[in-house]
A = this chain, B = another copy of it.
Amino acid sequence: MIRIIACGKVKDAWLRKGIEEYATRIRPYDKIEIAEVPDEKAPDSNSAAENEQVKLIEGERLLKKINDGDYVILLDLAGKECDSIALSERISSIYTYGKSRIDFVIGGSLGVSEALIRRSDFRWKLSSNTFPHQLCRLLVLEQIYRSFRILHHEPYHK
């Protein structure tokens, strides 16, 4: 099964709708769950140390959602690229080698903690461009859906 583990509620109704839409499209291929942990306030007036603290707390909350045997794909601007074909191959080989749950972890607005980086099995750079972390949820779901379409030799949109 696939889990998206992410921080904070999605505020925009259109974005919630899009996320739900892609989750629905994935369901015929695999179980999918979105696990949301509360985010911390990070006002612009925060010091660097305070921001570090926010990242740490959010990181701990995300970590708690991860089970021991899970394969963890961490969304990380400092990670490696993985195009749509490579992602489908990765998902297929994770399942083949006995892992039954893949967690896609999306950090909060300040990025990902060191502890999350250590726990991750693969750090994925989706783009060199920074996107709002809530929009990332949609993009990750679209890529997972696309992966299953590729694995099932079905057409998918470009």
Contact = CB atoms under 8 A, between A and B. Distances in A.
- Counting chain B CB atoms within 10 Å of each CB, which of A17, A131, A155 scores highest? A131
A132 B158 contact: yes
Interface residues of A, number: 34
A82 B12 contact: no
Contact of A111 (B13, B87, B157, B158): B158
A87 B127 CA distance: 13
Contacts of A132: 142, 157-158
A99 to B, nearest CB: 22
B127 A146 contact: no
A60 interface: no
Contacts of A52: none
A128 interface: yes
29 contacts: A12-B18, A12-B21, A13-B17, A14-B14, A14-B15, A14-B17, A14-B21, A15-B18, A17-B17, A81-B128, A82-B128, A83-B128, A83-B129, A83-B130, A87-B129, A109-B158, A110-B158, A111-B158, A126-B127, A126-B129, A127-B127, A127-B129, A129-B139, A130-B146, A131-B142, A132-B142, A132-B157, A132-B158, A139-B139
Interface of A: 12-15, 17-18, 21, 44, 81-84, 87, 109-111, 126-135, 138-139, 142-143, 146, 155, 157-158
